[in-house]
Amino acid sequence: MSQTEVELQSQRLEASNISTSSVAQDHNMDEEEGHARQQQLGADGEEEEEEMNGPLLIEQLEGNGITTSDIKKLKAEGYHTIESIAYTPKRQLITVKGISEAKAEKISNEAAKLVPLGFTTASEFHSRRSELICLTTGSKQLDTLLGGGVETGSITEVFGEFRTGKSQLCHTLAVTCQLPIDMGGGEGKCLYIDTEGTFRPNRLVSIAERYGLSPNDCLDNVAYARAYNAEHQLNLLHLAAQMMAESRFSLLIVDSIMSLYRTDYAGRGELSARQTSVAKFMRTLQRLADEFGIAVVITNQVVAQVDGMSGMYNPDPKKPIGGNIIAHASTTRLSLKKGRGEQRICKIYDSPCLPESDCVFAIYEDGIGDPKVEDDE
Comparing 31-40, 166-175, 230-239, the range with the smallest average pLDDT is: 31-40
State how far the Cα of 148 lies from the Cα of 132, in Å rounded to an integer. 11
Cα of 119 vs its chain's centroid, Å: 24
pLDDT confidence bin for 311, thresholds 50/70/90? low
pLDDT digits (tens, 9 = 90+) for 98-144: 899 988 999 998 888 888 888 989 998 888 887 889 999 999 999 99
Q: Say if residue 77's pLDDT is above 60.
A: yes
Q: What number is the average pLDDT over the span 185-211?
A: 96
Q: Say if residue 28's pLDDT is above 90.
A: no
Coil/strand/helix, residue 123? helix
Q: Say if residue 150's pLDDT is above 90.
A: yes
DSSP conformational letter for 63? B
Q: Say if residue 315's pLDDT is above 90.
A: no
Q: What number is the average pLDDT over the span 295-318?
A: 75
Comparing 51-60, 128-137, 241-250, 343-352, the range with the smallest average pLDDT is: 51-60
* pLDDT (0 to 100) of residue 2: 52
Coil/strand/helix, residue 107? helix
Query: Cα dist. 157→207, 255, 285 in Å?
Result: 22, 10, 12
Q: Say if residue 237's pLDDT is above 90.
A: yes
The residue that leads in pLDDT, 316 or 256, is: 256
Comparing 20-29, 170-179, 187-196, 197-206, the range with the smallest average pLDDT is: 20-29
Q: Say if residue 245's pLDDT is above 80.
A: yes
pLDDT confidence bin for 331, thresholds 50/70/90? very high
How many Cα atoms occupy the beta-carbon half-sphere of 51 within 13 Å?
A: 11
Q: Can you give the C-alpha Rg of the chain in angstroms? A: 29
Q: Which residues of 89-104 are buried (b: 16+ CB within 10 A; e: fewer)?
A: eeeebeebeebeeebb
* pLDDT (0 to 100) of residue 196: 94
State how far the Cα of 25 lies from the Cα of 86, in Å rounded to an integer. 55
pLDDT digits (tens, 9 = 90+) for 152-178: 999 999 999 998 999 999 999 999 999
Average pLDDT, the chain: 84
State how far the Cα of 117 lies from the Cα of 111, in Å rounded to an integer. 10
User: Phi and psi (nearest 5°) for 9?
Assistant: -65, -40
Q: How many CB atoms lie within 10 A of CB 259?
A: 22
Q: What number is the average pLDDT over the span 198-210?
A: 95
Query: Is 110:59 a contact under the CB 8 Å cutoff?
Result: no
Question: Considering Cα of 358, then 359, then 362, then 368, what sign does the dihedral take?
Answer: negative
pLDDT digits (tens, 9 = 90+) for 49-58: 344 457 888 8
- For 323, residues 6+ apart whose C-beta sits below 8 A from its C-beta are 275
Q: What number is the average pLDDT over the span 267-273?
A: 86
Q: What number is the average pLDDT over the span 198-220?
A: 96
